Amino acid sequence: MSRFLKLALLASTMASPLAAEPLGLGRPATPEEVAVWDIDVRPDGLGLPEGSGDVATGDGIYTEKCSACHGVFGEGAGRWPVLAGGQGSLTDARPVKTVGSYWPYLSTVFDYVHRAMPFGDAQSLTDDEVYAITAYLLYLNDEVDEDFVLSSENFTEARLPNEEGFVPDDRMEIEFPAFSKEPCMTDCKPEVEITMRAAVLDVTPEETAAKEAAEKAEAETTEPATEEAASDPTTEEAPAPEEATAEETPVEVAEAPAADPAMIKAGEKAFRKCKSCHQIGAKAKNRVGPVLNGIVDGPAGAVEGFRYSKAMEAAGEEGLVWSHDELSAFLADPKGYMKGTKMSFRGVRKEEDIDALIAYLRDASE
């Protein structure tokens, strides 16, 4: 008998034991059997098991059992869900819905992990492990510090940022009456006006948008000069720049030594470990981690619009600059270098990889 059929039969007997009697199938479920299925957790804490778990323990469990799908920092791997970041993006055209930006209750997180995770091995986690992973997810979303311990005692005190963003479903009282009226099918709009184009909405392929921009620029440059400008007799040619006198000595500018192309290429390869969280270049955007343009020899915690950890913000206020030595030390052991950083990457092991990575970050920023 298939598992689906077993569940269907069990559900039918639990819902209405009497209905099963004429068929001669099944029996009423025992309290012990019902308890196996009754594992949901409500926002008010009903259904929570006894237990506790801290952020550090959750970090290890998450890395082992969750990061393959959800990314090392909750950024999502491939098409698997993103779990961290996205704060303030719900009004964007493409909002990033995560535990920290969208989910309403912490009980939703605990309940789902408890019932359905890890994928392919559901309900293999102990209660304490679920508490630890839930605490770690709060940490990834900057809701708690790294020494936080989540337990059945303090669980209901935790609040997710978007809890107030959810309201009771009142569609039958509000929307249904409004849309039940006879629709107007004539003279609905006096005129049609284009208010936005696809290129502006960022849904046009880049090559098409670039072509449209080039055509627009060409059209603007080929427009005939105005009659006033063409007939202005006072228009004069700009005077030629004065020639340098023989006594003037040209200022010599020392050129910086050229970067080793082989090292930059090696750094680009090493950067693959960083790409899931960071971007660099002209079109870079903040993701789980900040953009890295100008990071080398730049101030710490200075990327606009990114939500840093308290430790990184404090370091920036104290004047930390990412010199080669400081950046090398951080990349080798982020948590050892800066207690409280939310960057849970364990570090680049080889010194030559760190040097190459810094060379690439410097080159890609120029």
Which superfamily does 39-165 belong to? Cytochrome c-like domain (1.10.760.10)
Q: Contact at 8 Å (CB) between 316 and 299?
A: yes
Please list, in sequence order, all residues whose beta carbon lies within 8 angstroms of the beta carbon of residue 67, skipping any fewer than 6 positions away. Answer: 77
Torsions phi, psi of 88, nearest 5? 80, 5
Distance CA 228, CA 236 (A): 15
Region(s) of the chain under CATH 1.10.760.10: 39-165, 261-365
Distance CA 144, CA 158 (A): 9
Q: Which of 142, 154, 157, 163 shows the shortest CA–CA distance to 53? A: 154
Intervals of the chain under pLDDT 50: 1-2, 5, 20, 225-236, 238, 241-246, 251, 253-256
* pTM recorded for the entire structure: 0.51
CATH topology of domain 261-365: Cytochrome Bc1 Complex; Chain D, domain 2 (1.10.760)
Amino acid at site 82: V
First to last CA, the chain: 65
Note the pLDDT of residue 15.
53
Distance CA 213, CA 242 (A): 38
Please state the separation of Cα 316 from the chain's center in Å.
Answer: 23
Q: Which of 171, 166, 113 shows the shortest CA–CA distance to 138? A: 113
CA geometry: angle 134, 91, 210, nearest 5 deg: 115
Distance CA 119, CA 100 (A): 21
Q: Is the peptide bond before 118 cis (omega within 30 degrees of 0)?
A: yes
Share of the chain above pLDDT 70, in %: 77
Q: Which of 276, 311, 274 shows the shortest CA–CA distance to 295? A: 274
Q: Which of 157, 173, 158, 152 shows the shortest CA–CA distance to 53? A: 152
DSSP 201: T
**pLDDT one-digit tens code per residue, 315-342:** 999 999 999 999 999 999 888 899 888 7
Distance CA 280, CA 34 (A): 53
